[in-house]
Amino acid sequence: MAMMTETQADARDYAPLSGSVTLVTGGSRGIGRAIALRLAALGSSVAICGRDATALKSVSSELELRASRVFAYAADVTRSSDVATLIEKTETVLGPISILVNNAGIGVFGPVHEKSEEDWDRVLNANLKSVFLVSRAVAPSMIGRKRGDIINISSLAGRNAFAGGGLYCASKWGVQGLSACMAEDLREHGIRVSVICPGSVATEFSGRGPKDPSKALTPDDVAHAVAMVVTQSPQSFLSEIHVRPLRKA
C-alpha cells in the first residue's frame, strides 16, 4: 500500500468546521449539492433538504463518504409547517444549526406582462419567502448561542436588470434587501448574514438557455465562496460576494 504523503495527511486532518452543523436548502442538486459536499469535507455535519426524495437520497450517500453525520429530509421550504418540522428534525438528529445556507430557488423568465399571478407567487415564494421562513426559524437558537452564519445565495440578477428577468430579478433584489437588513438585525448577536451573488452557473437550473461551460461558473465555484465565508476569522464579516465567470458570454 502506498504511504500517505505529508500533504495528503494535512488535507485529511484539515477540518475547520468540526463540531458545526450545516443546513443547505435545495441541497439535492447543482449549487446546493456542491455546497453541502464542500462543507462536509471541511468537517461539518450536514443536513440537506429538497422536494425530490430520490435526489436527496443520492446526495446523502455522497455526503456520508465525507461527513460523519448526515441528515436528509424532503421538505417544501415555502411552507412554514414544513420548515418548522425540518428544523426540529435536523436539530434532533445533528444538534443546533450553526450554518444555514439558503440556496433553494427556481427561475421563470419572460416578459412580465406575459406572466401569471401563479408564476409570480411560485418564484417569489421559492426564492424570497423561503429565505425569510428558514432564517426566522434558525435565528432564535443562534441568538441564544451568540454565533452563527446565515448565507443567502442570490444572483448578479439581484443587482442588474435584463429583458425577461422581471420575476426572477424581483425575487433576487428582494434577497439582497432582506439579507442586508438581517445582517444589521443579527450582527450584535454574533451572527453573520452574508449574500453570495453568482453570475451564470452551468447547472440544471432552468435559466435563460444553455450555457457555454467555458464561459460559465461551476457549482464548485459558488461552494468555494461559501467556504470562504464560514472559515473567515470570527471578528471579520464578508457581507456580500460577487462571483463572475472570467470570460464574458
Residue 141, domain CATH: 3.40.50.720
Q: Would you place residue 209 in the very low, low, confident or very high pLDDT band (cuts 50, 70, 90)? A: low
∠ CA 155-157-160, rounded to 5°: 135
Q: Please list, in sequence order, all residues whose beta carbon lies within 8 angstroms of the beta carbon of residue 37, skipping any fewer than 6 positions away.
A: 59, 62, 63, 66, 223
CB environment 164-183: b (16+ within 10 A), e (fewer): ebbbbbbbbbbbbebbeebb
Q: Which residue has the cell 444553455?
A: 210
* Threshold 0.85, pTM exceeds: yes
- The answer as to whether 8 is a domain residue is no
Query: Is 76 a domain residue?
Result: yes
Q: Is residue 5 situated within a structural domain?
A: no
* pLDDT for residue 8: 39
Indicate the angle between helix axes 166-186 and 117-124, nearest 10 degrees. 30
- Domain assignment of residue 181, yes or no: yes
Does a structural domain hold residue 114? yes
Residue 173, in any domain of the structure: yes
| Residue 7 pLDDT > 60 | no
The residue with cell 428534525 is 89
The residue with greater pLDDT, 82 or 67, is 82
Spatial CA neighbour of 33 closest among 18, 22, 43: 22
Q: Averaged over 11-34, what is the pLDDT?
A: 91
Query: Is residue 160 pLDDT above 50, yes or no?
Result: yes
Identity of residue 89: K
| Angle of the 130-145 helix axis to the 166-186 helix axis, nearest 10 | 10
**Chain-wide mean pLDDT for the chain?**
92
The pLDDT value given to residue 248: 79
Count how many domains the chain has: 1
Residue 210 counted as domain residue: yes
Lowest-pLDDT range, 10-14, 111-115, 177-181? 10-14
User: Does 79 map to a domain?
Assistant: yes
% pLDDT > 70, the chain = 91
Domain that holds residue 103: 19-243
Residues with active-site annotation: 168
Across the range 92-120, mean pLDDT stands at 97
> Is pLDDT above 70 for 190?
yes
Q: Which residue has the higher pLDDT, 101 or 205?
A: 101
